[in-house]
Structure 1
Amino acid sequence: MDAYLETERLVLRRFTADDADLLIELDSDPAVMRYLTGGRPTAPQVVREQQLPRILAGYERWDGVLGLFAAHEKDGGAFIGWFHCRPEPEGPLDEVELGYRLRQAAWGRGYATEGSRALLAKAFTELGVRLVWAQTMSVNHGSRTIMEKLRMTLTDTVPLPADMEAIEGSEHGGVRYEITKEQWEAGSPGQAGRSGREVDSPVR
């Protein structure tokens, strides 16, 4: 496995054109998709014809150093989901979004914090990133816990996309968290936030 990034328990790698089934299976779990689509699975043809080509194009666009990366357990190699660290389509390269989506089998094991923390370190020490941000629904307390563990700061409330209005809890809107390189450098990597069970994923 050609690693993009390794942590104590995980290997992150670039997706390939043969990985559609992994993404389809991940997005077929209503619990995983709860705060993204209200539990509705992503259609396989959307994954094959839109999402995966977009992921692969991102590696070309950002020289393979930013984008969305498949995550596997080191022990046994099981696919557990993905993490991303990428700028907005037309945004500056030194401001990137952090996100993840994990299979239910990986919830509650600290993987979301572990993978995200490693991506923060890579972004700030190797990739010239100045600011990392993340968004989720206000009611997604599992992901908000992760952001607090990463020492990200709640900076704003944000409206949700129109296609999320039917999701339970959408009336409370979304939240945005940020951390700058200076804030990251000033803190201890092991420090952060309140404890809580890790579930699901940021909005995007």
Structure 2
Amino acid sequence: MDGRYIFESERLGFRRWKADDRGAFARMNANPQVMEYFPNMLTQAESDGLIERFEQHTDERGFGIWAVERKEDVAFIGFIGLLEVGFDAGFQGAVEIGWRLDNKFWKQGYATEGAKACLDYAFGVLGLNEILSFTATLNHPSETVMQRIGMKKAGEFDHPKLKDGSPLKRHVLYKITAAEYALR
């Protein structure tokens, strides 16, 4: 295992965020294709704030949303990681897995491979018991990743941070326990 990574998969390395990730991350968050299933694109300052939030979460909890790079050329491809749910939708405080990859890295299996590695870390190293994931009902690509990593649909909910009438308000909720993951 490469010393610069917290953990890795066959093609991906998971690490803490670096200052030189900020430009690529902001460009990704300003890309309408990448942000299609989010309420709005982000400015450089908003992207920087998100990195700071991710890093603070990691400092406080020992896990978080990690920067992910392709090992063969150390290209920053986006993020995959774990975050405590901070809003009230009936599962506040639970741990969610999430991902956002730059669109030039889509359709190469990175989201699925990285999410599986993240679940391996969550259950095997961190000893977490259950992981959730959710996305807008319109976001079929992310829902497909949830299914590919063994998660099961647990229901739907209206995201409390999105305005009524938003086409993104309705979300699917997926779950997987450590025991279920071990059986897959």
TM-score (structure 1 length as normaliser) = 0.80
Report the CA distance between 1:21 and its aligned residue. 1.4
Residue 168 of structure 2: which of 165, 170, 174 is its match?
Answer: 170
Which residue of the partner structure matches residue 186 of structure 1?
183
Larger relative contact order (Cα-Cα within 8 Å, sequence gap ≥ 6): 1
Instruction: Give deviations 1:145-170, integer Å, cap 9, x for gaps.
Output: 11111111100111024535565x43
What value does the CA root-mean-square deviation take over the aligned residues?
2.0
Aligned to 2:131, the other structure's residue is in SS state: strand
Matched, 1:35 2:37: yes
Q: Which amino acid aligns with 2:7?
A: L
Q: Which amino acid aligns with 1:102?
A: L
Q: Which amino acid aligns with 2:16?
A: R
Which residue of the partner structure matches residue 18 of structure 2?
16
Matches within 5 A, 1:40-119: 40-48=40-48, 50-63=49-62, 66-89=63-86, 95-119=94-118
Q: How many residues align?
A: 178
The CA distance in 1 between the partners of 2:161 and 2:57, in whole Å, is: 25
The CA distance in 2 between the partners of 1:13 and 1:61, in whole Å, is: 16
Which residue of the partner structure matches residue 4 of structure 1?
6
Report the CA distance between 1:59 and its aligned residue. 2.1
Q: Which amino acid aligns with 2:60?
A: R
In structure 2, the gaps of 5 or more residues are none
Identity of aligned residues (%): 29
Report the CA distance between 1:103 and its aligned residue. 0.6
In structure 1, the gaps of 5 or more residues are 188-204
The CA distance in 1 between the partners of 2:58 and 2:162, in whole Å, is: 27
Report the CA distance between 1:130 and its aligned residue. 0.3
The CA distance in 2 between the partners of 1:149 and 1:129, in whole Å, is: 20
Question: Mean alpha-carbon deviation: is it higher for 176-185 or for 156-165?
Answer: 156-165
Instruction: Give deviations 1:100-125, integer Å, cap 9, x for gaps.
Output: 00011110000000000011111111
The CA distance in 2 between the partners of 1:101 and 1:83, in whole Å, is: 7
Matches within 5 A, 1:82-161: 82-89=79-86, 95-161=94-160
Report the CA distance between 1:45 and its aligned residue. 1.7
Instruction: Give deviations 1:29-53, integer Å, cap 9, x for gaps.
Output: 101000012xx420112223x2222
The CA distance in 2 between the partners of 1:82 and 1:175, in whole Å, is: 21
Report the CA distance between 1:27 and its aligned residue. 0.2
TM-score (structure 2 length as normaliser) = 0.88
Quick check: 1:16–1:56 contact (8 Å CA) kept in 2? no
The CA distance in 2 between the partners of 1:117 and 1:164, in whole Å, is: 32
